[in-house]
């Protein structure tokens, strides 16, 4: 059930609703489905994959196909939650489901904003011009694609569409490893001395929203039905300086070693990437013109019922998951043990 202060009026007399998730086999979609099931809702997922939580009805479909949603468009839904990236997927979804639901929630992204230089920027900040095409392959167009998706939902559904713009999503199961890299590295140093390499950018803002908090709030919004607010909402975690984030990561890992701090220039000269990806230091961004990326205001979302658990809980639970599953995955973000050990050896020369 929702946490205290987040109770929502029931859709039916027994409090249940019919929820359609466009997705559901991925990380966030799976959490949304499980959250809805735990509340006693009837959940259907439309997806290409097959890995949906037990108890969910799966409609296997490829949304690149024009009539992919035909099997669910003839039904009626109390709420629809869409996690799509491709504008064509959303354009066809709102076309086909416009008469089938009272609330359509689109999960967008703060990447919709082109300017990340501000301090505590709000939802009133300008967004990208929408992508005209139905598809994109270059991630440079990701923000414009999300804006196109947002516009399609608003234009077709008006006040029945709610737009939610998350920032970095983290917690247990994080497929990008951006939120689990640091607690895991502090728990498992790459060298016998127990040292860990960190960037010298201590006051750069970071922000992580726990996947469970985001999923819970999305279901809350769906439960509101016609009474749900339209947004847009920046669904972001509390802004936290990088040094504080790393301190919390050390604490949850029980780290007793030393940290080796290196300047931005030193790291970049040695091919260390920023933010995410292979041979990176996750969450680190050397460019101060990007300070707003970890400092978006979440005041509007908090007023609308978004509840955030402490960052300590997100990192601790993410570490527990990573320790149990690290052998099953590569290194989607961060330094390998060997890469960090080599850099530390050079740093000590």
When pLDDT is cut at 50, 70 and 90, the band that residue 121 belongs to is confident
Q: Give the pLDDT of residue 293.
A: 87
Q: Give the pLDDT of residue 55.
A: 95
Q: Give the pLDDT of residue 4.
A: 33
> Residues 211, 317: contact at Cβ < 8 Å?
no
For residues 116 and 255, which has the higher predicted lDDT (pLDDT)? 255
- Mean pLDDT over 34-44 rounds to 96
When pLDDT is cut at 50, 70 and 90, the band that residue 308 belongs to is very high
When pLDDT is cut at 50, 70 and 90, the band that residue 6 belongs to is very low
Rounded Cα gap, residues 283 and 337, in angstroms: 18
What would be the CATH architecture of the domain defined by 18-166? 3-Layer(aba) Sandwich (3.40)
Least confident of 7-11, 106-110, 156-160, 275-279: 7-11
Q: Where are the domains of the chain?
A: 18-166, 181-207+239-294+309-347
Q: Give the pLDDT of residue 327.
A: 61
- Mean pLDDT over 265-280 rounds to 96
Is residue 294's pLDDT more than 50? yes
Which CATH code fits 181-207+239-294+309-347? Answer: 3.90.25
Percent of the chain with pLDDT over 90: 87
- Mean pLDDT over 308-329 rounds to 90
Pairing, β 57-60 against β 79-82: unpaired
When pLDDT is cut at 50, 70 and 90, the band that residue 23 belongs to is confident
Percent of the chain with pLDDT over 70: 95
When pLDDT is cut at 50, 70 and 90, the band that residue 309 belongs to is very high
Identical fold at 18-166 and 181-207+239-294+309-347? no
Q: Give the pLDDT of residue 328.
A: 60
Residues 6 or more apart whose CB falls under 8 angstroms from that of 13 comprise none
Average pLDDT, the chain: 93
Beta strands in the chain (DSSP E): 18-22, 42-47, 57-60, 79-82, 104-107, 161-166, 169-170, 196-199, 205-206, 209-210, 233-235, 240-241, 259-262, 273-275, 280-282
- Mean pLDDT over 48-61 rounds to 92
Q: Give the pLDDT of residue 331.
A: 76
When pLDDT is cut at 50, 70 and 90, the band that residue 11 belongs to is low
- Mean pLDDT over 281-308 rounds to 94
Rounded Cα gap, residues 243 and 255, in angstroms: 15
Beta strands in 194-286 (DSSP E): 196-199, 205-206, 209-210, 233-235, 240-241, 259-262, 273-275, 280-282
Instruction: Tell me the three state secondary structure of residue 278.
Output: strand
- Mean pLDDT over 95-102 rounds to 96
> Residues 344, 190: contact at Cβ < 8 Å?
yes
């Amino acid at each position: 059930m929702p946490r205290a202060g987040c109770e929502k009026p029931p859709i039916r007399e027994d409090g249940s609703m019919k929820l359609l998730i466009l997705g559901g086999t991925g990380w966030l979609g799976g959490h949304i489905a499980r959250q809805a099931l735990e509340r006693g809702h009837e959940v259907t997922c439309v997806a290409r994959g097959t890995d949906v939580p037990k108890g969910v009805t799966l409609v296997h479909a490829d949304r690149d196909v024009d009539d992919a949603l035909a099997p669910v468009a003839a039904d009626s839904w109390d709420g629809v939650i869409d996690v799509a990236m491709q504008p064509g997927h959303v354009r066809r979804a709102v076309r086909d489901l416009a008469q089938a639901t009272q609330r359509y929630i689109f999960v967008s992204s703060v990447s919709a904003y082109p300017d990340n230089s501000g301090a505590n920027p709000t939802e009133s900040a300008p967004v990208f011009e929408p992508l005209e095409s139905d598809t994109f392959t270059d991630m440079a167009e990701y923000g414009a694609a999300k804006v196109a998706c947002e516009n399609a939902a608003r234009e077709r559904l008006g006040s029945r569409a709610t737009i939610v713009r998350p920032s970095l999503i983290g917690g247990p199961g994080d497929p990008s490893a951006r939120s689990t890299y640091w607690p895991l590295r502090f728990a498992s140093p790459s060298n016998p001395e127990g040292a860990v390499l960190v960037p010298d950018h201590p006051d750069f803002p970071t922000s992580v929203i726990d996947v469970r908090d985001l999923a819970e709030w999305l279901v809350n919004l769906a439960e509101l039905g016609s009474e749900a607010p339209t947004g847009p909402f920046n669904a972001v975690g509390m802004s936290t300086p990088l040094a504080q984030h790393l301190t919390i990561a050390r604490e949850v890992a029980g780290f007793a070693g030393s940290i080796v701090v290196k300047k931005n220039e030193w790291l970049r000269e040695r091919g260390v990437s920023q933010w995410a990806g292979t041979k990176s230091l996750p969450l680190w961004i050397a460019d101060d013109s990007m300070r707003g990326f970890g400092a978006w205001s979440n005041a509007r979302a908090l007023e609308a019922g978004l509840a955030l658990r402490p960052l300590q809980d997100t990192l601790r639970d993410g570490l527990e998951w990573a320790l149990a599953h690290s052998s099953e995955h590569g290194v989607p973000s961060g330094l390998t043990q060997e890469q960090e050990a080599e850099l530390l050896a050079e740093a000590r020369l």
